[in-house]
Chains A and B, each alone.
Chain A
Amino acid sequence: MKPRRRHRETLFPPDAFLVTTTLFLMAVGFIFVYSAGVMKAEIYYGSTSHFLVRQALAAVIGIVTMIVLSRIPADLLERAAGPFAILTFLLLFLVLIPGVGIKISGARRWLPMPLLGRFQPSEFARLAVVIVVARYVARNGEEIGTWTGVGKMLLPPLLFFLLIVAEPDFDTAMMIPALALVILFVAGLPWRILTGIVGVLLAGAAALVAAAPYRLERIRGFLDPWSDVQGKGYHIIQGWTAMGSGGLFGKGIGQGVQKYGFLPEPHTDFIFAVIGEEIGLIGTVLVTAGFIVLAWRGYRAALEQKEPFARYAAAGVTALITGQALLNMMVVTGLAPTTGVPLPLISYGGTSIVFTCAAIGILLNFSRRRVSSGNGRFGG
């Protein structure tokens, strides 16, 4: 690695743990996108490998993005925060316009995209919000102690949140302020303000549940799925049935049956259940371990950053990937109420793959610019 002229810091090779773990998870994704989606692909698209081919195409774009982002100058990302904010706003606004945004089952979440089919602006928004908030907090760190300051910091995320809720896509939307909060937390948000915000969020959540009865049903289904096996508890029980019937070693790749109409979204949101059914506890633990490695190495990269922006962005990006993975797994295992989020790097979904890869690319970029220290190897 040639040292760059404008930076004096030493450049390390990108974190090999992050790279191999990312590739491992993507490979698992290919296998199970194919296996889980085989029937739907055959029935609706006439080819059993329909999803796999698209996933592979998105992965190629994602890996190119990852390599590019891992090699750009660090300040370029920081300087892109402003344009990102504007672009995100425009895209999120654009998608709401009838005739422009593509409406599927009542939600207008996608923009048409030549060659690749569809693009989901909310995926972009999640990455953008990390950059935007990290930059703002890095520049105005002293304001974090005041309610007004925090309010200003949370203004863009809340705007994005509302636009996404309008699609509507509440499950994705709520991750935006959550990510902003993670960055504020890392930046030293005082506990009293944090508690206050959490209190407001809980009240807001209660209001939302009261406003939309289906959310209450979801929570009821989560708390006692067996009370309504064919109704509210159906999805969660089918997920458990998939994983539980897989046992330690699973039924064998491709041998699962739960993906055939029993699991709600076998190749996207419930792909983790298919993994559990077909390769058993061995498989689910390996995948979970993969995300633990991403968390460990991602937060380690954050710890090693000198610059506040880099530290906040690294932590935010790590939280983005691992937090989403955690939420997905908790939903599938019944530890959290049903929320429609894909498992990063594994679930089918082109936009998700590309932006998760982009996030990893950013992490890799930071991992090359760490403060050399004695205990750096183990992440401090």
Chain B
Amino acid sequence: MKGRILFLRAATIAAFAIVMARLFQIQILDHEKYLARSLRQSHQATRLERERGPILDRRGEALAVSIRVKSLAADPKRFSDPVARRRIASRLAPLLGISSEEIERRLDRKGDFAWLKRKLPDTVAEAIAAWKEPGLFFETEFRREYPLGSSAAHILGFVGIDDDGLEGIEKTENRLLKGPRIAASFTHDARGNPIPVNGKIAYPEYNGYKVVLTVDAVIQSIAEEALATQVEAYEAKSGSIVVVDPVTGEILALANVPTFDPGAPARSKASARRNRAISDLFEPGSSMKPFVGAIAMEEKLVRSNEIFECRGYLELYGHKIRCYKSHGWLDYARALEVSCNVVAMQVAQRLPKEMLYDGLRRFGYGEKSGIELTGEAAGKLRPVSEWSGLSPVMLGIGQEISVTDLQLAMATSALANGGRLMKPRLVRKILDGEGNVVESFGPKVRRQAVSASTARAMAAALERVVASGTGRRAQVKGYSVAGKTGTGQVADPRLGYLPGHYNAVFIGWTPKKNPVLAMAIVIHEPSVEKGYYGGLVAAPVFQWVATEALSYLEVPGEMGKSIVEKSRRRRARARRQITIRNGRVIMPDLKGLTLRDVKELLERAPIRFRPQGSGVAVGQSIAPGEAVPFDSTVSVTFEPPEEIQELVDIAPPEKERPAR
């Protein structure tokens, strides 16, 4: 019966053909309809809580991370019966650390949701979950943790209970850390659970972005330790340090004492949470001199080797403003070395007021630096219209101006960086959840504060400050350091300057020529009995941080002799040089020679000399290299040798000046 088989075959194939036609209808003609249906039922916008992104240091070390934790909530309807409410409250109270009455109060409300305690320890959450009590349930939340404890606390800031940043980078980058507000959706199965990707059941991750800081956790901890040690040793009230890469403006470390634990901000005082480095103002004292000097140098109003005379005071508008001692004859560089106020004031006087004001503004004083933190102060630099006649000289010694530690650090960086004032930066780049770069930030020049040649000249003078001046305690073995000390007076808005209250300041950078680190250190109100000069209290912090950080960064040591040795050779060379040219005597450089050396040298030359003071020559009335007639008289100023000399750079304590 072949016909029957043929019939069967035809019928089967016809049936398959109908199936194909049906497939065409479903898959081609009705495709749009079913595609929409599929998307509608298996995609949904996310309602999952996003994990706040971590904050990392420049090398990827985690400074702030989010940990998944359980928060306990309840359905109050389940506990509407007062007896049931009391029972559950008394059971929960010891575990949650809340009073039974408080739990009852939280449960006694309308609606179907009430927080009982948020962000529980895992052990407590597990214990409560084991009860399987209907009406109690857990919500997943995130707890912010700071793996390095209080380190970098003022940079990082902290978050509130709802995971929003309230201070620091946590606040300024809150939006990015929380993640992009995209209309995220995920594919889920029929029960609403996310479906596996590549065979793995992966819950959709809508993590916030990672914020990579410019901060180096190692340098940060070095800076913190050095600062805390010195603040404690000198029984100071507080202190700040800012460490910058002067070339890029990247903040490598920023620390304050006192500090706090960002993981438990509520347990600290508001004063400990304040980021003093950017918000506290103080008078910089002598540490302002390099900037006023650089402005004058830029206008060719002063040279490093120009000779000045300090008689121990300056009379101006009937006021007698004292130096802390009479320095006699000395050149400008030396005046910086010993932090002579009279010379600094003379230099400041030469500058037209507008020029001085503009120059200081160009260094960033009186304006916010634009760092990615809230609460930055602009400092106080009054406009020229509000100046008195004394204002320029006061500015020359760092008074009548108040600054932040960050401003000092950035202005110092400008001197280190060929005169370019950089924008300080804390955020290096933003990464998404997969580690792709979302945004990265490069160096940003704010302006050229002074020319590169001026910056170089000032750097040379500041190198001597550290080599043989008031900043000797900032020396770093094997590296050149340029720096300046300062000891500012603490002023009270009503009472004026408070006797016995000082701020010890040190600014500087290293190595001098190819700078890697620039710093500004301020220690507020050290104990007067222990010592309060910038060169004594603040400079050692620089030495500590620079020594350890240069070694950690593996910055190659500088070859050749250190500047300390170079100055010794200069002395020896000068001893032999008496040159007579065209009937005139070329004045030798007497600096560093002892009174006896000078006597011996000049006895053989047709020059008379008048010594002032005793010890080592620090200044001369005729500049070295100048040709003078025979039998000219040169005044030479001597000071006690460096080893016994105080690291003095203080503004005149008894100066008489009009009250503001």
A residues apposed to B, CB below 8 Å: 38-39, 42-43, 48, 182, 185-188, 240-248, 254, 257-258, 260-262, 276, 280-281, 284-285, 288, 291-292, 295-296, 299, 302-303, 311, 315, 319, 322-323, 326, 329-330, 333-335, 380
Within 8 A of A (CB), among B8-30: 8-9, 12-13, 15-16, 18-20, 22-24, 26-28, 30
Query: A237 — nearest CB in chain B belongs to which residue?
Result: B37
Query: A182 — nearest CB in chain B belongs to which residue?
Result: B8
Q: Which residues of B contact A244 (CB under 8 A)?
A: 26-27, 30-31, 33-35, 37-38
Is B581 on the interface with A (CB-CB < 8 A)? no
Report the Cα distance A182→B33, complex, angstroms. 39
Contact yes or no, A247 B6, CB < 8 A? no
Contact yes or no, B8 A330, CB < 8 A? no
Report the Cα distance A285→B190, complex, angstroms. 28
With beta carbons under 8 angstroms apart, the residue of A242, A246, A302, A326 that contacts B5 is: A302
Contact yes or no, B189 A303, CB < 8 A? no
Report the Cα distance A43→B38, complex, angstroms. 23
Report the Cα distance A292→B17, complex, angstroms. 9
Contact yes or no, B24 A281, CB < 8 A? yes
Contact yes or no, B42 A260, CB < 8 A? yes
- The answer to whether A284 and B23 touch (CB under 8 A), given A182-B8, A185-B4, A186-B5, is yes
Contact yes or no, B19 A333, CB < 8 A? yes
Instruction: Report the minimal beta-carbon distance from A134 to chain B, rounded to whole angstroms.
Output: 13
Report the Cα distance A38→B27, complex, angstroms. 24
Q: Is the interface of B mostly helix, strand, loop or mixed?
A: helix
- The answer to whether A42 and B38 touch (CB under 8 A), given A186-B5, A280-B27, A288-B16, is no
Q: Which residues of B contact A329 (CB under 8 A)?
A: 16, 19
- The answer to whether A243 and B23 touch (CB under 8 A), given A260-B188, A319-B8, is yes
A-B contact pairs, 15 of them (CB 8 A): A245-B34, A245-B35, A245-B38, A248-B27, A248-B31, A257-B187, A257-B195, A260-B187, A262-B189, A276-B27, A281-B23, A284-B27, A295-B16, A330-B19, A334-B22
Contact yes or no, A315 B27, CB < 8 A? no
Instruction: Report the minimal beta-carbon distance from B297 to chain A, rounded to whole angstroms.
Output: 70
Contact yes or no, B38 A240, CB < 8 A? no
Is B645 on the interface with A (CB-CB < 8 A)? no
Contact yes or no, A243 B16, CB < 8 A? no
Report the Cα distance A262→B30, complex, angstroms. 19
Report the Cα distance A254→B188, complex, angstroms. 14
Is B181 on the interface with A (CB-CB < 8 A)? no
Contact yes or no, B23 A39, CB < 8 A? no
Contact yes or no, B199 A48, CB < 8 A? yes
Query: A298 — nearest CB in chain B belongs to which residue?
Result: B9
- The answer to whether A245 and B31 touch (CB under 8 A), given A288-B20, A295-B16, is yes
Query: A285 — nearest CB in chain B belongs to which residue?
Result: B20
With beta carbons under 8 angstroms apart, the residue of B4, B23, B39 that contacts A288 is: B23
Report the Cα distance A188→B2, complex, angstroms. 10
Contact yes or no, A303 B22, CB < 8 A? no
Query: B188 — nearest CB in chain A belongs to which residue?
Result: A260
Q: Which 4 A-B residue pairings sit nearest by Cβ, starting from the closest?
A: A244-B34, A261-B190, A260-B189, A245-B38
Query: B22 — nearest CB in chain A belongs to which residue?
Result: A333
Report the Cα distance A284→B27, complex, angstroms. 10
Report the Cα distance A186→B9, complex, angstroms. 11
Q: Which residues of A contact B41 (CB under 8 A)?
A: 241, 262
Is B1 on the interface with A (CB-CB < 8 A)? yes
With beta carbons under 8 angstroms apart, the residue of B31, B187, B199 that contacts A38 is: B199
Q: Which residues of A contact B13 (CB under 8 A)?
A: 292, 295-296
Instruction: Report the minimal beta-carbon distance from B150 to chain A, rounded to whole angstroms.
Output: 44
Query: B34 — nearest CB in chain A belongs to which residue?
Result: A244
Chain A proximity mask over B26-64: 1 for CB below 8 Å, otherwise 0: 111011011101110110000000000000000000000
Report the Cα distance A120→B187, complex, angstroms. 36
Contact yes or no, A188 B1, CB < 8 A? yes
Query: A189 — nearest CB in chain B belongs to which residue?
Result: B4
Q: Which residues of B contact A38 (CB under 8 A)?
A: 196, 199
Contact yes or no, A42 B2, CB < 8 A? no
Report the Cα distance A73→B55, complex, angstroms. 77
